[in-house]
């Protein structure tokens, strides 16, 4: 389908937020997790999404009813493992985490079925976003080798693969040579790819990823301009300054903007502008991956792009 994006999200989360309503607690239940927040922003920007995930346990049953949005098609594999969940108290200025439930690990047959869903959807869409699940201290929801296989199988069959990963997941995906890598400067440092947050160190790390075959590396740098590196260029992308409400999710919205732009046939500069605008708008809102496409596009022309140095 024209403009369509496939989002691979192995195990979305159930989120429960406690808000204040006239002095009493007010509970809000939503679908969440990196992949869902990305998918929601992609659809807001005008590209339909096929969302490939696993659902299991009581949390998965609830998520099956909450995973809804305009232009979002959910293709799920019912599994024995439960989905993760968290409860946050947001009645005060600071978000307080009350409970976090980690997702369970998928069996070999469940992984095979989920992989099949993602390959078919990705090849039909033409652009695919590979995201992770909640970090679990013990085991991965799906083996990291899944990211290598997806990046390789989709990429060599004409699908443009965008990865927003770190650690072992990113290392595995790089073996499959994705087209676009979105990563934060903290992740590059934690992974040992960059020595520091100095621009020269981050540029060097991005250059190494490009040398491995990646077409575009986008490094978010918190409040600093985003770094974008290709084989031919090194760019700094500056989004309009907006007062942040919640900085979480800004990177996911940036990834969503990049994916939506590429699905819609945009060139590199236009994709970087849309990604930066989406990330900038998202941090002004309480809802992750939220915001209207019209509002994002109204900021696009305010994004500045300059060459490094």
CATH of the domain at 206: 3.40.1190.20
- Encode pLDDT of 219-228 as tens digits: 999 889 999 9
Q: How many whole angstroms separate alpha carbon 152 and alpha carbon 226?
A: 27
Give the pLDDT of residue 237: 96
Q: What is the percent of the chain with per-residue pLDDT over 90, rounded to a whole number?
A: 79
Calculate mean pLDDT across residues 47-64: 97
Q: What is the percent of the chain with per-residue pLDDT over 70, rounded to a whole number?
A: 91
Mean pLDDT of the chain: 91
- Residue 243, pLDDT > 90, answer no
Calculate mean pLDDT across residues 199-211: 98
- Encode pLDDT of 154-180 as tens digits: 999 999 999 999 999 999 999 999 999
Calculate mean pLDDT across residues 106-123: 97
Q: In this structure, what token pair is assigned to residue 127?
A: 């652009």
Furthest-apart CA pair in the chain: how many Å?
Answer: 57
- Encode pLDDT of 71-96 as tens digits: 999 999 999 999 999 999 988 877 78
Which is it for strands 85-89 and 224-229: parallel, antiparallel or unpaired? Answer: unpaired
- Residue 292, pLDDT > 80, answer no
CB-based contacts of 54, cutoff 8 Å, min separation 6: 10, 11, 60, 76, 77, 78, 79, 81, 83, 106, 110, 114, 141
For residues 212 and 248, the answer to whether their CB atoms sit within 8 Å is no
For residues 141 and 169, the answer to whether their CB atoms sit within 8 Å is no
Q: How many whole angstroms separate alpha carbon 137 and alpha carbon 71?
A: 34
Q: In this structure, what token pair is assigned to residue 33?
A: 């997790």
For residues 189 and 154, the answer to whether their CB atoms sit within 8 Å is no
Number of domains in the chain: 1
Calculate mean pLDDT across residues 128-139: 72
| Predicted TM-score (pTM) of this structure | 0.92
Q: How many whole angstroms separate alpha carbon 295 and alpha carbon 129?
A: 23
Own/partner pairs for 263-270, CB < 8 Å, 24+ apart?
A: 263/3, 263/4, 263/5, 263/42, 263/47, 263/125, 263/126, 263/127, 264/3, 264/46, 264/47, 268/216, 268/228, 268/230, 269/305, 270/300
- Residue 244, pLDDT > 60, answer no
**Which has the closest alpha carbon to 260: 296, 222, 210?**
296
Strands (E), 60-179: 72-79, 85-89, 96-101, 127-131, 160-164
Could you tell me the residue range of the domain that residue 66 belongs to?
A: 5-307
- Residue 289, pLDDT > 50, answer no
Across 40-49, 241-250, 281-290, which has the greatest mean pLDDT?
Answer: 40-49
**Which has the closest alpha carbon to 6: 44, 48, 64, 41?**
48
Return the residue matching tokens 């500056």.
238
- Encode pLDDT of 147-156 as tens digits: 999 999 999 9
């Amino acid at each position: 389908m024209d403009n369509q994006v496939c989002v691979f999200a192995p195990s979305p989360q159930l989120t429960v937020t406690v808000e204040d309503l006239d002095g009493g607690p007010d509970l809000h239940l939503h679908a969440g997790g990196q992949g869902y927040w990305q998918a929601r922003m992609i659809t807001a920007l005008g590209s339909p999404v096929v969302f490939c995930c696993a659902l299991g346990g009581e949390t998965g049953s609830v998520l099956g009813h909450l995973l809804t949005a305009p232009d979002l098609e959910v293709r799920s594999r019912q599994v024995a493992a439960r989905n993760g969940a968290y409860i946050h108290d947001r009645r005060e200025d600071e978000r307080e985490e009350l409970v976090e439930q980690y997702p369970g690990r998928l069996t070999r047959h469940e992984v095979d079925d989920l992989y099949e869903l993602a390959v078919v959807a990705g090849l039909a869409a033409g652009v695919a976003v590979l995201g992770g699940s909640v970090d679990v201290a013990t085991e991965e929801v799906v083996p990291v080798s899944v990211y290598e296989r997806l990046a390789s199988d989709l990429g060599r069959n004409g699908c443009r693969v965008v990865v927003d990963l770190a650690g072992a997941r990113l290392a595995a995906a790089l073996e499959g040579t994705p087209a676009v890598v979105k990563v934060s400067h903290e992740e590059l440092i934690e992974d040992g790819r960059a020595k520091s947050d100095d621009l020269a160190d981050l540029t060097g790390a991005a250059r190494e990823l490009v040398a491995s075959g990646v077409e575009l590396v986008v490094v978010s740098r918190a409040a600093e301009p985003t770094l974008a590196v290709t084989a031919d260029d090194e760019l700094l992308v500056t989004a309009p300054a907006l007062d942040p409400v919640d900085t979480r999710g800004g990177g996911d919205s940036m990834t969503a903007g990049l994916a939506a732009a590429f699905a819609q046939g945009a060139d590199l500069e236009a994709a970087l502008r849309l990604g930066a605008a989406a990330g900038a708008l998202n941090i002004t809102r309480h809802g992750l991956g939220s915001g209207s496409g019209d509002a994002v596009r109204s900021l696009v022309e305010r994004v500045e792009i300059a060459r490094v140095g």
